[in-house]
Structure 1
Amino acid sequence: MNAPPVSLVSIRGNHFVLINSMAMEGDGCSLCTRALTEIDRIADIFKCSSGSPLCRGRTKLEHYSRPIIMQHYPLYRQSDSICTESDAAPLPERNNLFEERWDCLSKESTEYLVERLRPRAAFGAHTHHSCVVRHSFAPTPEHKTEFIEYTVPSFSWRNRLDPKYYLVTVTPDEVKMAKCELPREATMQLCAVLMIVALTVYMKYFYTKRLLFFNYKQWTGKKV
């Protein structure tokens, strides 16, 4: 599948910038170069749509709203120590320092994305644990960007005991998130064992009842 490193998807006035995190390595690779070119193009579309005097092109969105970034890696942060959700990384793992470009985007790439796109929300994953971070970037007092980043926990029993998924409601004015979870794997295993036991008891009861009924017919000679 030849997917672009960066793409803009607009749905009912909501704009999502989908980013291949590998394209944000910043090592000058061809994929990175294509990604930066596309981000600059998309950033100009948002500038033109918002009426910014810095607009250089002609392409505009029909309905302007700040974009939502979606990618695999979380944006730069030193560690998960700032994460306070019940399904955040356990201690002491939560205090382990992140390695840029391995556990999260680099600080440079993060600042570049925020400065160019000025997102109103961001979604990432990769760590397998939940985290909600309130970002505030202010390169200048006139260009302050504030938004919330959601790190989505893993939806797999292989990675965590309580897999989660998000239900997100998005409008041009707000983003609402509800977190849902699967039962723990041990709960599912216990339910399976109980169902097998119940089925075994039922089959034994059904077989015994039929056997008694058959013996009764043989003993009385009645046809039922």
Structure 2
Amino acid sequence: MFVVVGNHDIGFHYSDMLEYVLMETRELDNFPRITPHLASRFEKKLSAPPVQLISIRGNHFVLINSMAMEGDGCSLCSRAVAEIDKIANILKCSRGSSLCKGADKVEHYSRPIIMQHYPLYRHSDSECTEPDAAPLPDRHLRFEERWDCLSKESTEYLVEKLLPRAALGGHTHHSCLLRHSFVPTNEHKIEFVEYTVPSFSWRNRLDPKYYLFTISPDEIKMFKCALPREATLQVTAILLCIALLLYLKYYYHCGKTYYTQRLWSDKKV
């Protein structure tokens, strides 16, 4: 099991200005700030460093702490950037790039898959047309960088460094499937698919879902798996209670009839 940290695990990493706003609105307790203790405890207990490269059967996954992509030079962010640069160089060497520095490589190179809590930068969910996407009119609400998604700068940095073939995120509680096309230079285009996984909780949505992926070095297939709607379970529970009461009533009636017949037969004897 590999774990990717989210903001509800160790807190948000936000600017001093935003912290001041939360303090003034008395919302700071609802959005705790990352501390070295919280980040270190999560990392040690769940073996989840800010960034790690996982290779499985020729498939390469880069697991990233989204809150470490603030870009403000904090110790957590600096450590994450240094690790991403290191992983990017390993991937360059693995694909035979002339820009390779060093000898570290992965076997059977394929473009990596980014996995993190935040989605990559986007203006809003307006381009998300999945049946379980954000409802209207919330779908057109503008995202706030570093709060609802990664910043544009961090997104471009990750894409240009890692050249992903897919990206997986969550955080918004809603589903989204986007096809990205980055063009850093006129001669170079980076295309990949981003999956935003909806929340697996009835508290956040009426139809919780999780995704199952079949992944090979050349292909990615996604399958959505849904829990029943909460209303369905409630109706089912009510029907089962009614059935149980009817069964108990029938059982009690049958038992009473049996003992009555036995009592009369004993008296006749």
User: Which of the five TM-score ranges fits, normalised by the shorter chain?
Assistant: over 0.9
* 1:80 partner letter: D
Of 192, 195, 200, which aligns to 1:150? Answer: 195
Alignment partner, residue 84 of structure 1? 129
Deviation at 1:4, TM superposition (A): 1.2
Q: RMSD of the TM alignment (CA)? A: 1.1
Q: The residue matched to 2:188 in structure 1 has which SS? A: coil
Structure 2: runs of 5 or more not aligned: 1-41
* C-alpha separation in 1, matches of 2:110 and 2:267: 82
Alignment partner, residue 104 of structure 2? 59
The change in CA–CA distance for 1:222 and 1:46 in structure 2 (over 3 A counts) is: farther
Q: How does 1:15-26 map to 2 (within 5 A)?
A: 15-26=60-71
- Cα deviation per residue 1:101-157 (whole Å; 9 max; x = unaligned)? 000000000000000000000000000000001000111133211000000000000
* C-alpha separation in 1, matches of 2:153 and 2:102: 26
Of 191, 213, 220, which aligns to 1:168? Answer: 213
* C-alpha separation in 2, matches of 1:165 and 1:140: 36
- Cα deviation per residue 1:184-213 (whole Å; 9 max; x = unaligned)? 000000000101110110111011101100
* C-alpha separation in 1, matches of 2:201 and 2:131: 17
Of 23, 47, 51, which aligns to 2:92? Answer: 47
Of 243, 246, 249, which aligns to 1:201? Answer: 246
Of 104, 112, 128, which aligns to 2:157? Answer: 112
Deviation at 1:62, TM superposition (A): 1.2
* C-alpha separation in 2, matches of 1:219 and 1:24: 84
* C-alpha separation in 2, matches of 1:184 and 1:157: 8
* C-alpha separation in 2, matches of 1:190 and 1:95: 33
Name the one with the larger helix percent. Answer: 2
TM-score (norm 2): 0.81
Q: The residue matched to 2:232 in structure 1 has which SS? A: helix
* C-alpha separation in 2, matches of 1:31 and 1:220: 85
Q: How does 1:23-38 map to 2 (within 5 A)?
A: 23-38=68-83
Structure 1: runs of 5 or more not aligned: none
Of 233, 238, 242, which aligns to 1:188? Answer: 233
TM-score (norm 1): 0.98
Structure 1 moving runs of 4+ over 4 Å:
none
